[in-house]
Amino acid sequence: MKAPNFFQQTRRVFLGRTTQGLGAVALASLAGTPSVQGAPALGVLGTLPLPQKAKRVIWLSMAGGPSHLETFDPKPKLGEMDGQPMPESFTKGQQLAQLQGQKLNCFGPQHAFQKFGKNQTEICSLFPQIGSVMDDICLVRSMTTDAINHDPAHMFMNTGSQIAGRPSMGSWVTYGLGSAAADLPGFVVLTSLGKGGQNQPIAARQWSSGFLPSRYQGVQLRSKGDPVLYLGNPAGVNLEQQGNDVEAINALNRQHAKLVDDPEIATRIAQYEMAFQMQASVPELMNVTGETAATLELYGCQPGDGSFAANCLLARRLAERGVRFIQLYHKDWDHHGGIKEGVALKAQEIDRACMALITDLKQRGMLESTLIVWAGEFGRTPMSQGGSGRDHHNKAMSVWLAGGGVQGGLVYGATDELGYAAVEDVATVHDLHATMLNQLGIQHDAFTVKFQGLDAKLSGVEGGKVLKKVLS
């Protein structure tokens, strides 16, 4: 059945109001006073101050804290020192998680490294598929973070703060830029489980809009049940009947609006339209049967299997539909023990999928306008934990970027010879956020919202810096 056709009209109502007073809209949404939050896909920034290299972001969150030493940071010296005490000069007075106060021994890399790409970048041999697209990847080996436990570290990576209640980066970006997706949320989150049994919990606050209006919160797409919560009609109600009800609700709301001049009613009407459209557009998005066999094979997934690979395919479909910020969580990277087998299992789950996402976007001419970020919430210690694992570690981690105007094939920054701390071109989470915003055309230190008296920014009060060297 065709959707009732007054969406356009209510859009105009909104736009009419905004042209009367942009300031009023900003004020309303910030003050928490009755506001026009059903705005169309325009962000608050309007004309952008910087060239927009990336139109959207796909952020691959490797939850649990991947070891840089078994993924992207080769440390032969650490292998040589395997089993020997960790030199105290590295660790004295440092913040450790579970290893605090314990005897610290070096633990050599558990897998071989191999050279890939035109610059012969060395990465772990478990990731040959990622290696095959190394020329599209900018590897940052000098990332650091402030937090050392999962929950605060995720919060820091997502919001730039360890205190709950701040907006996540996806919310910031959609708040600033809006979204080109007419009938999908602008910020979408997908999660997948690993098979290793270390699936750390992830709180919904990780995609919360914090003090920004709720319409910028991330919407989780689920692989089982309703893909969006409450998306399905009640049993015994078909699409046409649902449409009839939505039409009646909006008709009565319009009649009411004639009696009381309340702009919230126009917004409410638009949101019922949007909700009804989502009831068709989301299932269409989730239905990958139209994808070619070649594409499915590229990703190596079965439609609807809920795997990381399936989510990567959905990420591409979301990107095509104009969704601004797509965040994928893949869990099970918390290798306190059994890291050798654990990382090998993770590699099976993500290696091909990451390559496929980059390749697929590239084939469709979308890689340049899509910034892909691969990052955990922290790295892991070069010291052994229990003889077979590594503890949480915030002084060194590896992340990589692709597309979106970053330099493929580049390695940025370095850790010391044991992989304990970033020492060259040390980068922070604030820097990463600043760089991402920069590529989206946003001047990160001017993108602020007043919160508790402060000009709150994603890139932190102290301010991050754009990692200029990684940009092409």
Partner 1 sequence: MKNSVLPFLLALAGLAAQASAAVPPLGKVEFNRDIRPILSDNCFHCHGPDQNHRKAKLRLDVREIALEKKAFIPGNTGESELLKRLVSTDNDELMPPPESNKKLTPDQKETLKRWIQQGGEYQAHWSYVSPKKETTAPARQAVDELVQKRLSAIGLKPSPQADRRTLIRRLYWDLLGLPPSPAEVSAFLADTAPQAYAKLVDRILESPHFGERMAQGWMDVVRFADTIGYHSDNPRNVWPYRDWVIKSFNENKRFDRFTLEQVAGDLLPDANQESRVGSAFNRLILSTEEGGAQPKDYELRMLTDRVRAIGAAWLGQTIGCAQCHDHKFDPITARDFYSLGAFFADIKEPILGKREDGMILATPEQERQLAKLDGVLADAKKKYDAILPQLDAAQKNWESDPAALAASLPELAKDSKATAVDKKTAQLASAALKKEEKSRSAKDKKEIQTYFRTLGTDLFVNERDALTRAEKERLEYYQPLTKCLVTVGAEPKRVVKILARGNFLDDTGEVVKAALPKYLPQPKIEGREPTRLDLAQWLVSRENPLTARSVMNRLWKQFFGIGLSKVLDDLGAQGEPPPNSALLDWLACEFMDSGWDVKHMVRTIVSSDTYRQVSTASPELAAADPYNRELARQSSFRVDAELVRDNALSVAGLLVPKIGGPSVKPYQPERYWENLNFPVREYPADKGESQYRRGLYTWWQRSFLHPSMLAFDAPSREESCAERNRSNIPQQALVLLNDPTYVEAARAFAARILSECKGDAAQRISWAFECCLQRKARPEELTTMQALLEKHLAAYRADSNAASLLLQTGQAPTPEVLDKPELAAWVHIARVLLNLHETITRA
What's the CA gap between 225 and 245, in Å, rounded?
23
Nearer to partner 1, 228 or 318 (CB): 228
Burial track 18-52 (b if 16+ CB lie within 10 A, e otherwise): beeeeeebeebbbeeeebbbbbbeebbbeeeeeee
Least distance in angstroms from the C-beta of 136 to partner 1: 31
Closer residue to partner 1 (CB): 3 or 275: 275
Closer residue to partner 1 (CB): 236 or 290: 236
| Contacting residue, 138, 246, 323, 406, with partner 1 by CB under 8 A | 246
Q: How far apart are CA 242 and CA 229, in angstroms?
A: 16
Q: Does 244 bind partner 1 (CB under 8 A)?
A: yes
**Nearest residue to 277 (alpha-carbon basis) of 242, 249, 303, 314:** 242
Closest contact distance (angstroms) between CB of 138 and partner 1 is 27
- Alpha carbon 141 to its chain centroid, in Å, reads 19
Q: Given the complex with partner 1, which of 44 and 126 has the nearer CB atom? A: 44
**Interface with partner 1, residue 285, by CB under 8 A:** no
Report the candidate in 419, 397, 421, 400 with the shortest Cα–Cα distance to residue 411: 400
From CA 161, how far away is CA 457, in angstroms rounded?
Answer: 10
Considering just the CA atoms, what is the radius of gyration of the chain in Å? 23
Piece of the chain touching partner 1 by CB under 8 A; list 75-83, 126-134, 144-152, 350-358: 144-152
Q: What is the size of the binding site for partner 1 (CB under 8 A)?
A: 105
Among 10, 38, 127, 406, binds partner 1 (CB under 8 A): 38
**Interface pick for partner 1 out of 215, 316, 346, 395 (rule CB under 8 A):** 215
Cβ distance to partner 1 smaller for residue 129 or 438: 438
Nearest distance from C-beta of residue 19 to partner 1, angstroms: 13
Q: Does 59 bind partner 1 (CB under 8 A)?
A: no
Binding segment (CB under 8 A) for partner 1, from list 76-84, 125-133, 218-226, 356-364 = 218-226
Residue 392 main-chain phi, psi, to 5 deg: -60, 150
Beta-bridge partners for 113: 124
By CB under 8 A, tell whether 163 contacts partner 1. yes
87 binds partner 1 (CB under 8 A): no
Contact residue for partner 1 among 37, 132, 295, 388 (CB under 8 A): 37
Closest CA to 332 of 59, 61, 72, 97: 61
Give the separation between CA 161 and CA 155, rounded to whole angstroms.
Answer: 6
219: contact with partner 1 by CB under 8 A? yes
205 near partner 1, judged by CB under 8 A? yes
Measured distance CA(85)–CA(107) in Å, rounded: 9
Amino acid letter for position 424: E
Site membership for partner 1, residue 388 (CB under 8 A): no
Query: Mask: binding to partner 1, 222-241, rule CB under 8 A, as x and -?
Result: x-xxx-xxxxxxxxxxx--x
The verdict on 30 binding partner 1 (CB under 8 A) reads yes
